[in-house]
Amino acid sequence: MKIENEDALDHLIICHQCHTLHEEIPIEDGTKACCVECRSVLYRYDSRLIDHGFALSLTTLIFFAVANFFPLVQIEMLGNEQFITIPMTFFSLFENGFYVVGMLCAVVLFLFPLAIFVLYVMLFLMLKLKKGEDLSRRLLVWLSYMKPWSMNDIFLISILVALVKLIGYAQIHMGVAFWALAVFVLLDIYMTKHIHLKEIWMLRKQIFAEKQ
Amino acid sequence: MIEVDEKNLIRCPVCEAVNIDKDKENRCRRCGSPIYKYRRFKTEKSWAYLITAIIAYIPANLYPMLVSTQFGKTEESTIVGGIILMWESGSYPIAAVIFFASILVPIMKFLVLVYLLISVKYPLGKDKKVNKHKLYYMTETIGPWSMIDVFVVAILAALIHMHNVQIIAGTAATAFALSVFFTLLAAQVFDESLIKENR
Ligand SMILES: [Zn+2]
Ligand SMILES: [Zn+2]
C-alpha cells in the first residue's frame, strides 16, 4: 500500500473491537458505518456534531449536579428516618476509616464523571469558537484516559440491589437525585454510543485545517 | 510517497488513530501519546498488576465484606456467605447478580488476562479461531461491573447507621476494591499490539 504522507492514514480505521483494518468512506448525514467482521460501529457522520455535542454535554452536566445535590433515597426503619446523597456514600466510608475504597468511589462516581462532562462542554465550546488547537488536543487525551473510570451506570444498578436487600426491613422512598442519576446514566450511554472521541478528533482536524 | 506494509499499522491506544509502527520511538502522530513505550518490558508490567490483583482477591474472600450490628448482636458476612444468605432467603436475582459481579467476572478476567499474557509469549491458541482482540475487549467492558458489591456495601453503610441497627463495611471491601483496581490497570497496560505479533 502506498500513501502520500502520514496524514493520509486518517482515512484508515482499525476496528476497536476486532482490530480489522478498514478504509473510511463518506457516509450520509445521520448514518453510521459498521465493521464488516464484528458489526460494531466504526464511525458516524453528524453535520451538526458541535451543536448536538454541546447541548447534550451541558444537559448531562445539569442532571449530574441535581443527582449529587439532592437525596438519593430515603428510608424509614424502626421509627428512624434516614436519607443519603451520592457524596454521602463515599464520605461515610472515609468516616469509618475506609480511605482506599472511599477514594476509589469518590473518583469513579464523582470526580471523573464531573471532569469528563466539564471537559466535553469546554471542548465543544472551543471547537465552536475555533480556538485552542493545542488545549483541545490535551482535553481529548485526558478524556480518553478518564472515560473507562466512570462508573455511574454500575452505581445505579448497585442502588437497586441495595434497596431490594432492604425490602421487608424498611420503607423506601426514591429521591429526586435517583431519577436525575437515571437520566444522567441514560444520557451518558447515549453520548458514548453516538459521539465517539474519534469523530471529535476528525472534526478538530477539519476545523483547524480550515483556519490555516 | 511512503510505502506502508498493512501489517505495520497499529492503533493508538489513546486516540485510536492509525499509526505506522516505528518500533522504538513510537509517538502517536495525532495525540502525541507514546504508543507501547513499555515494549522493552513487554508483558512484565501487566503481569505485576495482575498478580497484585489476584493476591488482593484472596483476603477479599476470606475477610468479611459487611458487618451488621442489630440490637448489640454483630454479624459478619463474607462475599460467598452473603450470596448463600441471599439465596437461602429466596432473593435469587440478587444472589445471581452478586455472584456474577464478585465471583464470575473477577475470575473470568484473571483467566482471560493470564491466557492473553501467556499467548503473546508462547504460541498458544494460534491455530484456533479465537479472536483475542475481541476477548480482550469483552473483559474490558464487563470488568468494571465487579464493583457492584463494593457500591452496595457503601450504600448500605451510609444508609443504615441508626441506634439499634448499623451496617459498616468490612476489611474485604478494601481488598476487593484494590483487586478490581489492579485488574483494570493490568488490562489497561496490556500491549494489544503483541497479540498481532504472535498470531
Ligand atoms: Zn470489528
Ligand atoms: Zn493517539
| Four-residue CA torsion sign, B8, B186, B32, A132 | positive
Question: Rounded to a whole number, what is the distance in Å from the CA of B186 to chain A's nearest CA?
Answer: 13
Is pLDDT of A104 > 90?
yes
Residue B96 sits in the same domain as residue B11: no
Total count of domains within chain B: 2
Is pLDDT of B129 > 70?
no
What is the residue type of B181? F
Is pLDDT of B185 > 80?
yes
Mutation target to probe the B interface, by most B beta carbons within 10 A, among A165, A197, A201, A203 is A165
A85 vs A102: CA distance, rounded Å: 15
B167 vs B149: CA distance, rounded Å: 14
Bridge partners for A13 per DSSP: A22
Q: Any idea where the domains of chain A sit in the sequence?
A: 1-45, 48-211
Residue B187 sits in the same domain as residue B135: yes
Residue B117 sits in the same domain as residue B132: yes
Crossing angle for the helix pair A112-129 and A133-146, nearest 10 degrees? 150
Q: Residue B37's pLDDT is what? A: 57
Q: Residue A101's pLDDT is what? A: 93
CATH classification at residue B142: 1.20.140
Residue A120's SS3 state is helix
Residue B156 sits in the same domain as residue B95: yes
Reported pTM: 0.91
Q: Residue B196's pLDDT is what? A: 66
Max distance between CA atoms of chain A, in angstroms, equals: 76
Residue B9 sits in the same domain as residue B51: no
Provide the domain limits for residue B13: 1-37
Q: Residue B180's pLDDT is what? A: 93
Residue B20 sits in the same domain as residue B47: no
Residue B6 sits in the same domain as residue B69: no
Q: What is the mean pLDDT of residues B85-90?
A: 89
Chain A residues inside the 8 Å CB shell of B174: 98, 100-101
Query: How many alpha carbons lie under 13 Å from residue A103 in its C-beta half-sphere?
Result: 6
Is pLDDT of A5 > 60?
yes
How sure is the predictor about A7, in pLDDT bands with cuts at 50, 70 and 90? Answer: confident
User: How confident is the model over B150-159, as pLDDT tens digits?
Assistant: 999 999 999 9
Mean pLDDT of chain A: 91
Q: Residue B122's pLDDT is what? A: 75
ipTM for the whole predicted complex goes beyond 0.95? no
Residue B29 sits in the same domain as residue B50: no
Residue B112 sits in the same domain as residue B124: yes
User: How confident is the model over B36-86, as pLDDT tens digits?
Assistant: 655 556 688 889 999 999 999 999 999 999 998 888 888 899 999 999 998
Are A101 and B93 a contacting pair at CB < 8 A? no
Q: For residue A31, give the C-alpha cell.
A: 448514518
Q: Residue A136's pLDDT is what? A: 93
Q: What is the mean pLDDT of residues B6-26?
A: 82
How sure is the predictor about B125, in pLDDT bands with cuts at 50, 70 and 90? Answer: low
Interface of A with B in 138-197 (CB under 8 A): 140-141, 144-145, 148-149, 151, 154-155, 157-159, 161-162, 164-166, 197
Q: Residue A127's pLDDT is what? A: 93
Nearest to B63 by CA among B159, B174, B167: B174
Residue B160 sits in the same domain as residue B186: yes
Q: Residue B133's pLDDT is what? A: 82
